[in-house]
Amino acid sequence: MRIKQTFDNLKQKQQTAFVAYLCAGDPSYETSLQTMINMPKLGVDIIEVGMPFSDPSGDGPIIEMASKRAIASGMTMQKTLNLVADFRKQNQTTPIVLMTYFNPLLKFGIDKAFTAIKQAGIDGILIVDLPPEEEQEIMQFLPTAQLDLIRLVAPTTSSQRAELILQNASGFVYLISLMGITGTKDADPARNIDTLQQLKKITNLPIVVGFGIKTAKQAQAFSKIGADGIVIGSAIVEKMAENNIQEINNFITEIANHINYATKISES
């Protein structure tokens, strides 16, 4: 599995994973594809591809607007999977996580969806609004699709609840760094130390932190407190909206350099 291999390799180097998010089809199919192809070359370890959705519950206004732009331009679930398949023609090694809500899967047809997801070359799926009490809806499809089930844990989640959420999780755990939605507040590393330590007692899976991490310095700070990975989402999406490939590339490079700054210095 590409996700496990990536984290195993990074652990050997004592490095933190850089997980970069983009909304499929925003601002265009072509720009999304070119950005995906560029990301691993610039230091991204895992790419999280967001399925455009009209009624998000976890995404803030930045990603919500990206979804609206993508949908308005004709982006669909099938085109999102086509995007990943086109990326796989260029790159067979970088893990891809599909971030979606349950409704698009239902509309597509769950059985058909997971077959298509596997064919596209996706490694993990994060379904924002699927609680553990309802996850049996998809569990039978995961082994055949060879998909990791990425689960979200909130800062308010009790240890008992976290154990339930993570009972079928694989790949990595996505720790939400703050209360609220994406892109609206700044994450505070100090407030996540205890949660990270508690989660490490519950699971052996890598713990990736996201929501509210917008700058290279923030990413570096989360790396220093022991996060196994950092997700940068809204900050990238903001730059994607400007459709300036060079500016996107510069920002991603800056984040990648800061996340593992201490390791890079020791290796140089």
- Please tell me what DSSP assigns to residue 243: T
Q: Is 186 a catalytic residue?
A: no
Q: Is 188 a catalytic residue?
A: no
Report H helices in the chain.
Answer: 2-12, 29-42, 61-72, 77-88, 102-108, 110-120, 136-139, 142-145, 159-165, 193-202, 216-224, 234-241, 245-259, 261-267
Query: Which of 45, 48, 64, 123 does the annotation list as catalytic?
Result: 48
Query: Which of 8, 45, 55, 59 does the annotation list as catalytic?
Result: 59
Distance from C-alpha of 73 to C-alpha of 243, rounded to nearest angstrom: 14
- 227 Cβ contact list (under 8 Å, min separation 6): 16, 175, 192, 196, 207, 208, 209
Residues with catalytic roles: 48, 59
